[in-house]
Structure 1
Amino acid sequence: MPTLHVVVGSTRPGRLALPIAQWAAQAAEQHGGFDVQLVDLAEFGLPLLDEPAHPRTGQYAHEHTRAWSATVDEADAFVFVTPEYNFGPPAALLNAISYLHREWLCKPAAFVSYGGVAAGLRSVQVLKQVLTTLKVMPIPEGVAIPFVFQLVQDGSFQPTPPLEAAATDMLDELLRWTEPLQLLRKGLVPAQ
């Protein structure tokens, strides 16, 4: 069974990313197509990119980078849970992506975004540009949560039926991309 990492994309105290990511991970477990792991960037404590060598070399001087590398490397697919900060993704998420290179290659990604009226979609657009540079395949299906504060009660995210349906569609499509990209990474499908 492929491994899916649901990445908590914000490290800010009081973040909504954590309860939303917990819901997304639960939805993925109920989906049944993945071995699901919740990956919280706050637990890695990555400083602003501090590796002396370019990520493409894979020569990591710091233990925090080696731990992050091992975590990303074991995933076959990703769901990034992201708010929108100033029309873009959180700096902590961009920083975490920039730490690595090879570990991201030829893996699919989906997005659960949240915010006000724009539902975090501008953050997703920026992330898609960054991730495609690393040969990550962003899928079109996702979950966009507008007016998110209306759906959080006592620190718990309360999804609506349309959001739950969107999560199922997203996970179905993510799974559809996961196996062919696994074969590509293993060299069983020739790259063109």
Structure 2
Amino acid sequence: MTKIAIILGSTRPGRNGKQVADWVLQQAAQRDDAEFELVDLADYPLPHLDEPMPPAMGRYQHDHTREWSDKISGFDGYIFVTPEYNHSTSGVLKNAIDYLHTEWNNKAAAFVGYGGVGGARAIEHLRLVLAELQVATVRQTLTLSLMTEFENFQTFAPGDYQADFLNTLFDQLIAWANALETVRNPELAELAA
């Protein structure tokens, strides 16, 4: 079964992202074509990148890096739930991505952003970062405005139409994650030939 991580990309006290990530997980639970798991960066307190060797070498010296690697490597795709801070993603999410390299390679990703302009600029920055890590990003995104999708900028209350957009995001992400399976595991392509 295809495994998808919903990565909550904010650890800020009072963050709005937890409500968003929980909603994404609730919507995902209605599907039977993939397994979804919430991965909260608050549960993986990574310091600023402190590995002496480049992540592409995979020679991790710290337990926190090995734990993060073990968690991320088991997924076929990712949904990044990202805030927008100063026209980009959160520092904690960028740092978590930078910790690893091959664990991300040849997988698929989608984005759910939130903020003043729905996290659109954070999503655009993440697309560039993930392209360098050989992650295929899908077209469909969710951009959730603090002005229209949150009551008093704090309580998440998405419009019903957002669930339709999210289902399209799931469809695209699962299709790409499955398509990349033979790239991640070339022996499967040989068996199919």
Identify the TM-score tier after normalising by the shorter chain: over 0.9
For residues 140-171 of structure 1, give each alpha carbon's deviation from its aligned partner in whole angstroms, at most 9, with x where no partner exists: 10111113575258x75322111111101100
Aligned-partner SS, 1:86:
coil
Structure 1 residues without counterparts, runs of 5 or longer: none
The structural deviation recorded for 1:31 is 2.5
Partners of 1:130 and 1:142 lie apart in 2 by 16
| Contact 2:149–2:156 (CA under 8 A) maintained in structure 1 | no
For residues 82-116 of structure 1, give each alpha carbon's deviation from its aligned partner in whole angstroms, at most 9, with x where no partner exists: 01000000000000000000000010000000111
Aligned-partner SS, 2:29:
helix
Query: Quick one: which amino acid aligns to residue 25 of structure 1?
Result: L
| Contact 1:82–1:114 (CA under 8 A) maintained in structure 2 | yes
Aligned-partner SS, 2:48:
coil
Equivalence for 1:178: 177
Partners of 1:69 and 1:136 lie apart in 2 by 16
Superposition pairs for residues 141-160 of structure 1, below 5 Å? 141-147=140-146, 150-152=149-151, 157-160=156-159
Partners of 2:100 and 2:149 lie apart in 1 by 36
Partners of 2:164 and 2:48 lie apart in 1 by 37
Partners of 2:96 and 2:149 lie apart in 1 by 29
Partners of 2:147 and 2:172 lie apart in 1 by 24
Superposition pairs for residues 1-192 of structure 1, below 5 Å? 1-116=1-116, 118-147=117-146, 150-152=149-151, 157-187=156-186, 188-189=188-189
Aligned-partner SS, 2:182:
helix
| Contact 2:149–2:159 (CA under 8 A) maintained in structure 1 | no
TM-score by length of 2: 0.93
Aligned-partner SS, 1:31:
coil
Number of aligned positions between the proteins: 189
| Contact 1:31–1:171 (CA under 8 A) maintained in structure 2 | no
Identity of aligned residues (%): 39
Query: Quick one: which amino acid aligns to residue 89 of structure 1?
Result: T
Give the superposed CA RMSD. Answer: 1.7
Query: Quick one: which amino acid aligns to residue 42 of structure 2?
Result: A
The structural deviation recorded for 1:29 is 1.5
Structure 2 residues without counterparts, runs of 5 or longer: none
Aligned-partner SS, 1:105:
coil
Aligned-partner SS, 1:140:
strand
| Contact 1:7–1:78 (CA under 8 A) maintained in structure 2 | yes
Aligned-partner SS, 1:64:
helix
Aligned-partner SS, 2:139:
coil
